[in-house]
Amino acid sequence: MRLVTAIVKPFKLDDVKKVLETIGVAGLTVSEVQGYGRQKGHTEVYRGAEYQVDFVPKVRIEVLVDDLDSTRVTDVIVEAARTGSIGDGKVWVTAVEDVVRVRTGERGTDAL
């Protein structure tokens, strides 16, 4: 099993959710996060003063998938989240040792 973690622009969350539904992903976890990448935040003007905003708001999406599905899930997320401009985010995959469904106690791929 693998954990696909995607950091995307907040307004792309709906697109990503929809495309994951269409390929049959059963569940996901979403959180609001902040951070920066290579572009190192941006400047903002407010009340006549310019500020450096270091942390840009993003959405983190986490999906647990079977080994065989991880490439396809990653690909559809990347495609749905891409705008082509700076700050589109990142997607990465990590190995997962075990998964347990709390209600039934099912383990491994049965718990996905």
Partner 1 sequence: MDTGDTAWVLASAALVLLMTPGLALFYGGMVRAKSVLNMMMMSFGALALISVLWVLYGYSMAFGDDIGGGIVGSPFEFFGLRGLLGTSGLDGGFAATSLVFTIPSMAFVSFQAVFAIITVALISGAIADRARFGPWMVFAGVWATVVYFPIAHWVFAFNGAESETGGWIANKLLAIDFAGGTAVHINAGAAGLALAFVLGKRHGFGKEPMRPHNLPLVMIGAGLLWFGWFGFNAGSAISANGQAAEVWVTTMVATGAASLGWLLVEKLRDGHATSLGGASGVVAGLVAITPSCSSVTPLGAIAIGALAGVFCALAVGLKYRFGYDDSLDVVGVHLIGGLWGTLAVGLFASASATADVDGLFYGGGVDQLWRQAVGAFAVLATSFVLTYIIGFAIQQTMGFRIDEEDELTGIDNAEHAESAYDFTSLGGGGVSTSGVRPAAAATAASTQGASA
**Which residue number, 57 or 72, has a Cβ lying nearer to partner 1?**
57
Beta carbon of residue 48, minimum distance to partner 1 (angstroms, whole number): 4
Q: Which residues bind partner 1 (CB under 8 A)?
A: 44-49, 51-53
**Which residue number, 54 or 67, has a Cβ lying nearer to partner 1?**
54
Beta carbon of residue 41, minimum distance to partner 1 (angstroms, whole number): 11
**Which residue number, 3 or 53, has a Cβ lying nearer to partner 1?**
53
Q: Can you read off the two tokens belonging to residue 54?
A: 């270091």
Sign (positive or negative) of CA dihedral 77, 31, 18, 105: positive
Residue 77: partners with Cβ closer than 8 Å, 6 or more residues away:
4, 6, 8, 16, 19, 20, 61, 91
